[in-house]
Amino acid sequence: MKGSAHVFDQGSLSGDPLSILDQAGRLVAGYEVDGDDLRRLYESMVWIRTYDRKATAMQLQGRLATYSPFFGQEACQIGSVAALADGDWLAGTYRDAGAMWFRGYSWERLFLGRTGDERGGQPAEDVTVMPPSITVGGHMVHAVGLSWAEKMKGSGKIALTMFGEGATSEGDFHEAMNFAGVFHTPTVFFCQNNQYAISAPREIQTASDSIAQKALAYGMVGYLVNGNDVLAVREVTAAAAERARNGDGPSLIEAITYRRGPHTTADDPTKYRTSQEEDLWTERDPLERVRAYLADAGLWDEPWQTELEEAAGVAVETAVGAAEALPKLDAGNFFDAVFENPNPTLSDEKAAAARRLELGEA
């Protein structure tokens, strides 16, 4: 791919976001695309959309405790982490299962986490992905800590943290950005501006013209990108990651996207969004623009689409089966899933729970 990322380091960061593929799937002048590479990105987006639909259905069936769909944000999920190198860290939210999976977090553990099973928060040993953060904004501080540690070790590894625009109203955002700026940590802050923090629209979240321009206050570079364009997202994240890896400090990316589904399966977005608005963003679907480009280039057809969807469906259903087949944690063993070496308080609670279990009270 040829072209340069839309980098801003001074002035207003509220212009047109970078795009490489337009809404109709046409390539923007100045860029070239590797068709096989784009097919791989598209395949990953199909897979995570399959997972998202399955998880949404399972929650409505009462098989998951809660679920926050990322339908419509697939380009952000895949494009951002596709720019990372092996060993780089990812600290995401409850809405970032697609990105976590791409980086090695298994579907099975993601499903387990959504049932409230602590084993879902235990990624494989070689997976440098933090468990999904439920606390809004808190994980940004962790990402800065991880990247600072890697800087001190001289490993060349970085950390990327994903969050919604609503999280920028939290104090953790300021603390993480300020620390990263002061200590020049190799951190990439990736804001998925999906327009709503539950029912609160972006315009009442902040008085600034953009989220991206907040980078200037913390002495870092800001980027504004079309979050429904997987190629543009990867291009910008790669530029920010390169800066971090080269010792040039942290960056803040604002990806303009849209949450097409509810905030969670307990939410009703029709109470605060219009059908006209939803139709507008349906036309900007991140998968459809890639599909249009691939079809025009002779790299997509219905049989291949069916093959992708069937393979994704089998993988997701297999993960569901494995997660639901695991013996449930009970009062005698769920303490062991929290810490490797329980502290005295947990040890006492575990002993008390075991006694209640023996007496048939648990």
Triad 321, 324, 329: Cα angle to 5°: 150
Residue 16, pLDDT score: 83
Kindly report the length of the chain.
362
pLDDT tens string 190-204: 999 999 999 988 888
pLDDT tens string 238-288: 999 999 999 999 999 999 999 999 999 999 999 999 999 999 999 999 999
Residue 362, pLDDT score: 56
The type of residue at 56 is T
Does domain 7-328 sit in CATH 3.60.20.10? Answer: no
Residue 250 φ/ψ region, left for φ over 0, alpha for ψ in the -120 to 50 degree band, beta for the rest: beta
Residue 84 contacts residue 154 (beta carbons within 8 Å): no
Grouping H, G, I as helix, E, B as strand and the rest as coil, residue 184 is coil
Task: Give whole-number Cα distances, 28 to 23, 35, 212, in Å.
Answer: 11, 15, 22
Q: What is the DSSP secondary-structure string of 193-260?
A: E-SEETTEEGGGT-SSS-SGGGGGGGT-EEEEEETT-HHHHHHHHHHHHHHHHTT---EEEEEE----
The type of residue at 48 is I
Identify the DSSP state of 326: S
Residue 171, pLDDT score: 95
Identify the DSSP state of 190: E
**Res 10 pLDDT > 70:** no
How far apart (Å, rounded) are the C-alpha atoms in residues 226 and 192? 10
Closest CA to 76 of 226, 212, 200: 226
pLDDT tens string 201-218: 888 888 999 999 999 999
pLDDT tens string 127-156: 999 999 999 999 999 999 999 999 999 999
- By annotation, the residues acting in catalysis are 259, 263, 272
* Token duo for residue 321: 């089966």
Using a 10 angstrom Cβ sphere, with 0-12 exposed, 13-18 middle and 19 or more buried, the burial of residue 194 is buried
Output the pTM of the full model.
0.92
Whose tokens are 């072209």? That residue is 3
How far apart (Å, rounded) are the C-alpha atoms in residues 253 and 198? 21
Domain parsing of the chain, residue ranges: 7-328, 329-362
Identify the DSSP state of 6: -
**Percent helix, strand and coil across the chain, each to the nearest 5:** 50, 10, 40
Using a 10 angstrom Cβ sphere, with 0-12 exposed, 13-18 middle and 19 or more buried, the burial of residue 69 is buried
* Residue 90 host element (H or E): strand 89-91
Residue 356, pLDDT score: 81
How far apart (Å, rounded) are the C-alpha atoms in residues 123 and 251? 27
**Res 176 pLDDT > 90:** yes
Residue 184 contacts residue 152 (beta carbons within 8 Å): no
**More confident of the two residues 325 and 6:** 325
